[in-house]
Copies of this chain bind each other. A is one copy, B any other.
Amino acid sequence: MPDILHRVGINAPVGKVYDVLTSIEGARAWWDATATGDAKEGGLITFFKKVDMEVIEAKPNERVRWKCVRGPEEWVNTEITFQLSYKQDQTFVIFTHANWKKPVEFMHHCSTKWGIMLVHGLKALVETGQGRPAPDYVQVYVGG
């Protein structure tokens, strides 16, 4: 099954990135300003009022994993992993959105959007205090 892969390097300690990934305030500040719920292990985060991510793993300063349990048909049962590692004076986030059934056009769109959100959302937030979460994200097509 095809996966979406990304990597960003963030000029910050790994703990700062981990904290953003495991708090609802962090989720609101990098990905979706409307996010609600609990971003700790075992919790459920609701994005865009219609996408539920179960936090299936949160290992401090190492790894955060979400499973999509409600959302676009193509996303249900897919898994998102943020693997953290500190090297070369920065925190690298190795991102995978795995278990897509097919490489449909929507998957291509999501891949680009994840890249933009990781760079302008997560990386920018941690480095500067200001990310560009939805709905004010950098557009990848005319309309979104």
A residues within 8 Å of B by Cβ?
2-11, 88-90, 92, 94-96, 103, 105, 107-109, 111-112, 114-116, 118-119, 123, 138, 140-143
Contact = CB atoms under 8 A, between A and B. Distances in A.
Contacts of A94: 105, 108
A90 to B, nearest CB: 4
Interface of A is mostly: mixed
Most buried by B among A7, A92, A114: A7
A8 B95 contact: no
A5 B119 contact: no
Contacts of A123: 140
**Number of chain copies forming the complex:** 2
Q: Which of A92, A96, A108 has the most CB of B within 10 A?
A: A108
A118 B108 contact: no
A7 B4 CA distance: 12
Nearest to A7: B108
A41 to B, nearest CB: 24
B7 A142 contact: no
Contacts of A4: 5, 111
A92 B114 CA distance: 17
A72 B10 CA distance: 24
A48 B4 CA distance: 26
A57 to B, nearest CB: 19
Contacts of A140: 7-9, 115, 119, 123
